[in-house]
Amino acid sequence: MRNLRFMREAIRLSMRKMQQGKGGPFGAVVVCNGKVVGRGWNKVTSANDPTAHAEIVAIREACRKLNTFRLDRCVLYTSCEPCPMCLAAIYWARIPKVYYANTRRDAARIGFDDAFLYREVARPAARRKLAMRQCLRAEALAAFRLWESNPNKIPY
């Protein structure tokens, strides 16, 4: 399989950056037309950014390089099965295919357990551990009405 070189690059990134103290053992690359357009590694602890997972970092770089928020012609290679946050970002970026190496169970065995998040996301908002209360909906709907009537909006 010729795509193995891209997976190997994601794995190398995960190892090299983790050994350099840049974050956890995760790496990812976004590929478009056979070329790497985004590289990412876990920067959560080095950037003090809980959203700086390898996949997110790679997606951000690919979007900057390609000057688009839609990566529908790209493929993502990641050293581990994406967490719920990264999975959502992959869907939002419209990436049609993902290759991954380690599973989420492998990650759980070394302390990166996302099972709680998978369960929480599936629950109704009122039953989640995170306290969430709705307020000022009528006021906030004004922004939605403006969006809806904006002839210059860029749908995504």
**How much is the pLDDT for 1?**
59
Q: How many CA atoms lie within 13 A of 107 on its CB side?
A: 20
Report, as an integer, the average pLDDT of 116-136.
90
Say which of 55, 61, 81, 120 is annotated catalytic. 55
- Looking at per-residue pLDDT, the higher value among 2 and 109 belongs to 109
Residue 110: pLDDT band by 50, 70, 90 thresholds? Answer: very high
Determine whether 55 is an active site residue. yes
| pLDDT the model gives residue 156 | 83
* Cβ burial 112-139 (10 Å sphere, 16+ → b, else e): bebeeeeeeeeeeeeeeeeeeeeeeeee
Of 59-63, 124-128, 135-139, which range is least confident? 124-128
Pairing of strands 27-32, 74-80: antiparallel
Handedness of CA 3, 53, 20, 37 (dihedral sign): positive
**Sign of the dihedral through C-alpha 124, 104, 111, 49:** negative
**pLDDT tens for each residue of 16-60:** 999 999 999 999 999 999 999 999 999 999 999 999 999 999 999
Structure-block tokens of residue 9:
């690059």
* 2-17 confidence digits (pLDDT tens): 679 999 999 999 999 9
